[in-house]
Amino acid sequence: MRRSGWVMSLVILYSYGSSQANTIVDFEDWAGGDSGVLSLDSHGFHFEIPSGASLQVLTGGGTNNSTHRLFLRFTNSMTMTRVGGGLFDINSLDLQEGFSSPYSTSVTINGFFPGSGSISQAFTLDDLSNTYQTFSSSGFSGLDHAVLQGTAGFSIDNIIVPEPSAVIFVLVGLFFSLYPPNERLFD
C-alpha cells in the first residue's frame, strides 16, 4: 500500500503543477470609472503610486484589450501588496507601453521578500502599436510587496497570482495518499 501512496503522491504533485488555481487581477471589479486616484484595490490586492501622479482604470478602447486595465499616468512606479497583508507570488502579467508619448520601453518588477532580500526582472516592451504583451516572471514567490517601474508611464492588466489555498490542498492530498484513513499512521 505504501508504494501506491508514493505513486499517488507523484500524480498529485504533477497535477498540482499543471492545474494550480490562479487569481487573475484584471481590474474588472473596479467601479470608480476612469478618474485618477493614488491607490486602489482589485481582487484582493492593493496598488499605490506616489502623490502628484494618478492611477486610471481605463475601460475599453485598447487595441487588444477591450476590458478594464490599469494605466499609470504622470508616474512610472507603482507598489503592489496583498490587501490585509500576506505573501503572494506573481506568475505573469500583461504590459503595454501606454497610449501617449513618451512610451515606456521597459518595465522592471522588483519583488521584496519578508525581512530582507529581493528579486528583480526587466521586461522589454518592443511593440509601439499599443497592444498588450504577456510576460512570465520567474522566482517571484513569497513576496511581501512588489514595485513595478517603467521608463515612462505604462498600462498593466491580467496579473496572474497563484491561489495560496491550492498549496494546502496539495499537502493534504499528499498526506492522505501516503497514509490512507484505513491504515495506521505508525506501524
pLDDT tens track for 150-175 = 888 788 899 999 986 555 555 566 56
Helices (H), the chain: 2-19, 164-178
The pLDDT, as a whole number, for residue 13 is 47
3-state helix, strand, coil in the chain (%, to 5): 20, 35, 45
- The domains of the chain, with CATH numbers, are 22-164 (2.60.120.260)
CA distance 174 to 81: 30
Judge contact between 183 and 1, C-beta under 8 A: yes
- Check: CB of residue 105 under 8 Å from CB of residue 69: no
Reply yes or no on whether the pLDDT at 66 is more than 80: no
